[in-house]
Structures are given as C-alpha cells and as structure tokens.
Amino acid sequence: MVDQPNRGKTLEETKAYLLERTLAGRNPMDGSKEADVREALTRLKSDDPDHWAEVWMQTARPYEEAGLEAEGKGDDAAAHDAFMLAYQYYRLGRFPAPNSPGKIASGQASIANYLAAARYFDPPLEVLNIPFAGAAGEGPLVRCYLRKPAGVERPPVVIHHGGIDSFKEERHRYAGPVLGRGWASLAIDMPGTSESPVKGALDGERVYEPVLAHLRERSDVDGNRVALVGGSFGGYWATKAAHVYHDQLAGVVNWGGGVHYGFQPDWINASRYAGSYLTDLLGTRAFAFGLGGADDWLEFAPKLSMLDSGGHRRRARADAAGERQGRCADAHRGSVSAAGARCAQRCAGVPGRPHGPDAGHLPNDPALDRAPLR
C-alpha cells in the first residue's frame, strides 16, 4: 500500500492500488475480475473524472448487454451474474463520488444494473420509496432496499449503510450475513450520498425518522426490534441516531466512524492523502456535504464534533482506545464506541472483536455476523 503523506497518488500508484485491491477482494474492487481490471488499467491515462468514468463504463457495457441477452433467453443465472458485473464496473465509474457528468451517468447505470440483477435475488429485494418531509430543496423520499429472510415471521430489522463512497447497492455483501441470522436487511444511503434526500448537514440523521416509522407500520417485520449499523463515515450518523432515536432502536453499531478527532484540522490534514484511500479524502467528504472542496471541509468539519457540540444527550459515556479517543453512546440495548478514524468499532455482546488503532479500517471480521439482536 502506497503512503504519500503530502500528495495524491500518481497514475501508476493509482493503478497499483486498484490491482492490489482487486487481488485482495477489497473495496472498491470487490466483485471485479482481474482480467477486466488489468485491461481497463491499460486504457486509464489520467485522473480526469469523466475519463475515469468512461474507462469503467466501457468495461461495464458488454456485461450489461450480456445480461439483457441472457434475460431474453430465460437464463436467470447468467443474467444475474452479468448484471452484477455490469453494476460493479459502473460503480467504479462513479467512484468515489458522482461529481462530474460522466460519473453521474455511471452512477445511474450502476443502480439500474444492480436492480436488474436484483430480479433474481433469493430472497427477493423490495424497493421502498418512503415519503420524506424535508426542507426546501431536499428530496421527497428515502429509497431503501428491503430483503426478508425466508420462513421467518415478522423478523427484526437491521438498517445498514456505508460511508461517503459506499452506497446502498454496496451493502449487498452485508445483506447475506444479516439474512442468514433470520433478520431482515434494510439497505439505505448515508445522508449526503447517492439517492439520499438530504445532503450531509448537522441534522442529516433526519432521514432515519420516516424509515423507522414505516417499519413500525408494517405487519411483515417487527418494527419494534430494529438495529442500525453505520460503516466508515456512516458510523458517525449511527452514533447520532443512538442519541436522537434511542427509544426506537434496539442496537446501534458505529463501525469505523469518527465522532470528534476525525473532524479536527490536524487530523484532517494528516489523513488527507492516506495510502488506504484512492483519492483526496477531503474532496469526497466535502462533496457528501454539498461543499465546494477541501478548504470548505476544513472549515465545516469541526462543527460535526459530538464532543464539542453537546450532541450527547442520553446514556452518553466516554470510551478510549489507545491514543485516539472520542465520545460514544450506549444505545438502548447495544453500545457503540468511537475512537478515531482507524479504530474498528465494537458491538456489545460480540467477544473477541478486534478494536484499537491496529485493527484497521472496517476489518473483515466474521464475528460481526454473530452480533446478537435481542
């Protein structure tokens, strides 16, 4: 992994990063084929966002066409596989954020192909369009993907989302373990990303309110047993929800999100060109909050601190891990902890989960799959 403390990656370093992650099956390359990636990288000539998008869209289109052809022949398995590959490469085309015309088009195509593949999911995927009474300029609905485990009457629900660059379609890999435990999976977009009606703001957690109300109104799931998992930056919003909606959530996990130190200028500047991230991390975060760029993010980010803002209202406690500390919250029946941008978060009742500065960001830990939802 390349670490370049005061600059972005060169083109060759970017290509090496993408290939390394392809071989390791790591975000954002999980689901990619090595041969496809190697071929695409020969066409990648710059970091121009529209050129980037077109490179990956060229890789995606043949799979999209193959999916349509297989669908026409009634070959469900082939159609599913082709559409999923098309989705993956269109997803790469918009990664990390749909901030140019080409990336916007690629992002829209990724959603379309994911939903095309979803026609063959078992258990099936239901698209929910939940009305959202937002402020002027905000979207009218919260779009979610619900999947329910077969043979389970009124299962509890796990709402889950990623961070600034991982959208609800990318929650597909996490839906399987959730469903395997007999829980329903509800994938949504983090505030400020993809189809979320709210750009990231100080009160972006408002998106959860109509979702929680909708689940309580349904007869096919148990809307009184709902947990929330936020990955990466999404852990920040999960922590806020643990306070604001503590009486409506049975458990909350902040899986790798900062709540204080990650929003301070010294931390932000030190992590801007982290070797673990593909591009300028500040620009991606700024985009998710409707800001113009890195300078705007540096000015805005400290306002998000839960330590300084007084945002900890119910059942708050402090939790430390190594050198990096932060605020966390005891949710109704689970606990969340935040200890910096590189600390894996822990869920109460899951023994042996790695945590602390050496655990890495969002480690692939099967113990999470065994987390109890009481």
Helix axis angle for 76-94 and 34-43, nearest 10°, is 40
- Looking at residue 199, its pLDDT comes to 85
- Provide the residue type at 246 as one letter: H
Same domain, 327 and 234: yes
Q: What is the mean pLDDT of residues 221-235?
A: 97
What does pLDDT average to over the chain?
A: 85
The residues that bridge with 253 in the sheet, in sequence order, are: 229
Same domain membership, residue 156 and residue 63: no
pLDDT tens digit sequence for 249-266? 999 999 999 999 999 999
Give yes or no for residue 370 having a pLDDT over 70: no
Q: Looking at residues 340-364, what average pLDDT do you find?
A: 37
Buried b (16+ CB within 10 A) or exposed e, 275-304: eebbbbbbbbbbbbbebeebebbbebbeeb
CATH number of the domain within which 47 lies: 1.20.1440
Pairing mode, if any, of strands 141-147 and 157-161? unpaired
pLDDT, tens digit, 9 for 90 and up, residues 97-135: 999 999 999 999 999 999 999 999 999 999 999 999 999
161 lies in the same domain as 264: yes
In this structure, are 190 and 315 located in the same domain?
yes
Boundaries of domain holding 324:
126-370
Q: What is the CATH number of the domain that holds 239?
A: 3.40.50.1820
Q: What six digits make up the tokens of 199?
A: 């750009």
- Judged against a pLDDT cut of 60, whether residue 334 lies above it is answered with no
Does residue 193 sit within a domain?
yes
For residue 2, the one-letter residue type is: V
Residue 275 has a pLDDT of 83
Residues 338, 259 contacting (CB under 8 angstroms): yes
**Which pLDDT band, with edges at 50, 70 and 90, does 6 fall under?**
confident
* pLDDT tens digits, 144-175: 999 999 999 999 999 999 999 999 999 999 99
Do residues 190 and 339 share a domain?
Answer: yes
| Same domain? 263 vs 289 | yes
For the chain, what is the radius of gyration of the CA atoms? 20
In a domain, 180, yes or no: yes
Domain assignment present for residue 6? The answer is no
- Mean pLDDT value of segment 132-139: 93
**Upstream peptide bond of 123 is cis (omega within 30 degrees of 0):** yes
Domain termination residue (choose one: 90, 118, 146): 118
> Is 5 within a domain?
no
- Domain end residue (candidates: 85, 118, 151): 118
Strand 324-330's sheet: what is its strand order? 316-321, 324-330, 335-336
In a domain, 4, yes or no: no
CA gap 341, 348 in Å, rounded: 20
Residue 160 and residue 249 in one domain: yes
Residue 335 forms part of a structural domain: yes
Do 238 and 312 lie in a common domain? yes
Specify if 156 maps to a domain: yes
At 4 the pLDDT is 59
Residues 258 and 280 in one domain: yes
Token couple for 323: 């050198």
* Domain end position, chosen among 118, 148, 180: 118
Residue 297 lies in a domain: yes
Identify the band that residue 2 occupies on the pLDDT scale cut at 50, 70 and 90: low
pTM score: 0.86
Residues 30 and 48 in one domain: yes
Same domain, 140 and 288: yes
When pLDDT is averaged across residues 205-228 and rounded to a whole number, the result is: 98
**Overall domain count for the chain:** 2
| Residues with Cβ within 8 Å of residue 125, at least 6 apart in sequence | 115, 118, 145, 146, 147
Is 112 in the same domain as 215?
no
**DSSP H/E element including 131:** strand 126-131
